[in-house]
Chains A and B, each alone.
Chain A
């Protein structure tokens, strides 16, 4: 896994990316997102579920207070912005190994040193 993150991403649905694709990325995202509804209202939260195999596809979120689940129909979504901090970013096993190696090098005496 790379340390890439979608944090800060604000895709414009219909311009190279579909609503379904953005919802799937939001579902995989480990931080909070902001869902912009068709009427312009914004709802921030952790998008933990989505189902598009039902007659009225929906997403579900827990808001920043942990209240929920709040259900929003796909048909009511105008945009999704990846506004929350990504807790997975920079926390990969590879990153930990790199940090460990750096720490080890820093504590080792340099060749020829006193």
Chain B
């Protein structure tokens, strides 16, 4: 794992405090979507498929901060849409950093260099640019449906690193991904100097346009097993090693849909980042009135059957790490040995 010690300690302390308080459900990462607008139209993403009045709207910074305070999660991920198109992204990030939230600004990096040159952000342990990279040049440009984006992203990553920012990558893998090419991709990202990488399989939700191409669970296990077999020591992943073991089929977890709650202009999304079954007016209402038993693999809900996405299973892995000596030991062994 490649998470700074301060972040690790903050998360560990937070999780232990929740457990000591006997809270059965608590958030780990708030998925904060200030807007749905984007400067790309990726084939795998249904987020931008809204009428014009919705794409023109965005949350105010005040509403974003109220959601962050209400939720209380130690980490805030800002996806979208493209958050660098949010007119107040600089102020929002500044406020979150001031609150000592660990911020993952998820961007396609097309605008990153310009925003850095504008001096919109300051380097901080609390801020990481999480750059969307779905593979090497050919694979990435195909995934984002536009040629040249890979090179733009690489250029922006170099510039962000040069300026002292934390940079990670996030990769969604679709059916047909080539494990050998992905291993080359991991090498390339490490050569670039990113702090760590995040990977997750895609998900076939009804509003996604290419559900035929998303990974099914079994094929996903095979893909990740081949991808992570004999991992290079220098590969750093900015996620729980137990989640990676889960992807490989070596660990069985149940989903924690409340672990990464989602807030956007519609409210608190039920039940998770991927499924849109309605919205609650407050985080408390989300936790108390969502029929959680209807979600996750054991529920029999067919929408959850093949899902292995990080937003549901990474919180489980973290909970498991700090919930038992065995979980803690497994995490430490995987982290220290580099073996999954």
Residue B53 interfacial (CB < 8 Å) = yes
A63–B41 contact, CB under 8 A? no
> How many whole Å from B132's CB to the nearest CB in chain A?
16
Contacting residues of chain A (40-69) with chain B, CB-CB under 8 angstroms: 45-46, 48-51, 53, 60, 62-66
Residue A1 interfacial (CB < 8 Å) = yes
Chain B positions within 8 Å of A9 at CB level:
none
- Complex alpha-carbon distance, A91 and B211, angstroms: 13
Residue B164 interfacial (CB < 8 Å) = no
A85–B51 contact, CB under 8 A? yes
* Known contacts A1-B209, A49-B278, A96-B145, A30 near B53 by CB under 8 Å: no
Q: How many residues of B contact A (CB 8 A)?
A: 27
Give the secondary structure class of B's interface. Answer: loop
B43–A92 contact, CB under 8 A? yes
B213–A93 contact, CB under 8 A? yes
* Known contacts A1-B212, A93-B43, A96-B145, A88 near B207 by CB under 8 Å: yes
> How many whole Å from A72's CB to the nearest CB in chain B?
15
Chain B positions within 8 Å of A1 at CB level:
206, 208-212
- Complex alpha-carbon distance, A61 and B289, angstroms: 21
B54–A46 contact, CB under 8 A? yes
- Complex alpha-carbon distance, A64 and B44, angstroms: 27
Chain A positions within 8 Å of B46 at CB level:
30, 88
A66–B210 contact, CB under 8 A? no
Q: How many residues of A contact B (CB 8 A)?
A: 30
Chain A positions within 8 Å of B278 at CB level:
27, 49-51
A93–B207 contact, CB under 8 A? no
Contacting residues of chain B (189-212) with chain A, CB-CB under 8 angstroms: 206-212
The contact sample of 30 A-B pairs, CB cut-off 8 A, is A1-B209, A1-B212, A27-B278, A28-B206, A28-B207, A30-B50, A30-B51, A32-B51, A45-B53, A46-B50, A48-B54, A49-B279, A53-B289, A60-B279, A64-B53, A66-B53, A66-B57, A87-B48, A87-B49, A88-B49, A88-B209, A92-B43, A92-B209, A92-B210, A93-B43, A93-B209, A93-B212, A94-B212, A95-B209, A97-B43
Interface residues of A (CB under 8 A from B): 1, 27-28, 30-32, 45-46, 48-51, 53, 60, 62-66, 84-85, 87-88, 91-97
User: Other than the known A64-B53, A94-B209, what 6 A-B pairs have Cβ atoms closer than 8 Å?
Assistant: A1-B208, A64-B51, A66-B57, A84-B51, A87-B51, A93-B44
Interface residues of B (CB under 8 A from A): 41, 43-44, 46, 48-51, 53-54, 56-57, 145, 206-213, 266-267, 278-279, 289, 291
